[in-house]
Amino acid sequence: MAIDLSQKRVMVTGGGGFLGSFVLERLAAAGCADVFAPRKADFDLTREADIVAALEAGRPDVIIHLAAVVGGIGANQDEPGRFFYENAMMGIQLIEQARLAGVEKFVCLGTVCAYPKFTPVPFSEDELWNGYPEETNAPYGVAKKALLVQLQSYRQQYGMNGIFLLPVNLYGPRDNFDLHTSHVIPAIIRKCIEAKERGDSSIQLWGTGTASREFLYVEDAAEGIVLATERYDDPDPVNLGAGFEITIRDLAELIARLTGFEGELVWDTSKPDGQPRRSLDTRRAQERFGFTARTSFEEGLRRTIDWYLEPGNR
């Protein structure tokens, strides 16, 4: 049965982050007035005592767990231990404490990085265990994947209503544009805009440009998460994506055109490409809880670029 979120107390971890800010807006639009978003300055969710304190403060009926340590290929390579430990510890302890507190529903965000390196395209949820993740972000992917096992086992033993969503790469306004820790879209947008402003003749990009990716606009992702929270109650993981694939080279050329950068795109082939291809089978989300992405890729990129160019966002 569908959950009426307007009648529930909801805790959103990571509510101050990129995706979290849009999920909070979507919950408000759904009439959910009792929302608690614990901030890291007050609650360190890698510590059990802080998790218990957050649950006591928020008294949630529903938890949407978005908090994560994330970053691009470079950040994952620099801090694989941190990415594994903090993501695993946050999720494992939060799920356990939510069970002990009698939380009605737990919504966990996984990652497309959990998929095996050479998953057939488009990625079906049934392929999730057919190989090891791509090495550059495997620690992060495996940590998240463990939470799926936990939720499924808790459903089996305790009857806990926990669901697991697998979003593809997200982008949009309010994203992280730090060149060391950002993902590919904000990094290329920033490089193109700054090079244009300086009059540079070229920008340097990682890899060969031949790898492919799928991207989901952040507002669409927030809609999918809230729909799943309201309507989905099964152990099977569910992809959240837009159902298309673009090479990094074509992506860079598109962003250069949209930002007005006319210089050369130079590819540093000494840097890794990451997973060779990435695109999701999105049929399960549509069938199970009626989610289909609505924002066209070019329109989403325009909105992201326009936001970055606004005063105070750089």
Successive 10-residue mean pLDDT values, the chain, 314 residues:
94 97 97 96 97 98 94 81 96 98 98 94 97 92 97 98 97 94 93 98 96 97 98 98 96 98 97 91 98 98 98 92
What pLDDT sits at residue 97?
Answer: 98
Confirm whether 119 is domain-assigned: yes
CA distances to 149, 185, 210, 286 from 235, rounded to whole Å, are 9, 32, 35, 16
Q: Residue 99 is part of a domain; what is its CATH number?
A: 3.40.50.720
Confirm whether 154 is domain-assigned: yes
Residue at 290: amino acid letter: G
SS (H, E, C) 4-49: CHHHCCEEEECCCCHHHHHHHHHHHHCCCCCEECCCCCCCCCCCHH
Confirm whether 58 is domain-assigned: yes
Residue at 210: amino acid letter: T
d(CA 213, CA 276): 9
What pLDDT sits at residue 218?
Answer: 98
What pLDDT sits at residue 297?
Answer: 98
- Give this prediction's pTM: 0.95
What pLDDT sits at residue 233?
Answer: 97
Which ranges of the chain would DSSP assign to H, the alpha helix?
18-29, 48-58, 73-78, 80-100, 138-158, 184-198, 218-231, 248-259, 283-289, 297-309
What pLDDT sits at residue 182?
Answer: 85
Confirm whether 128 is domain-assigned: yes
d(CA 189, CA 273): 18
Helix axes 184-198, 297-309, angle to 10 degrees: 50
The size of the chain, in residues, is 314
What pLDDT sits at residue 235?
Answer: 98
Kindly name the residue from 85, 115, 132, 140 that is annotated as catalytic. Answer: 140
Q: Which domain holds residue 9?
A: 5-171+216-244+277-294
Confirm whether 74 is domain-assigned: yes
Please list, in sequence order, all residues whose beta carbon lies within 8 angstroms of the beta carbon of residue 302, skipping any fewer than 6 positions away: 258
Number of domains in the chain: 1
Confirm whether 84 is domain-assigned: yes
Confirm whether 69 is domain-assigned: yes
Confirm whether 145 is domain-assigned: yes
- Whether 140 is a known active-site residue: answer yes
Whether the CA torsion 220, 224, 226, 230 is positive or negative: it is: positive
What pLDDT sits at residue 283?
Answer: 98
**Spatial CA neighbour of 257 closest among 302, 312, 209, 208:** 302
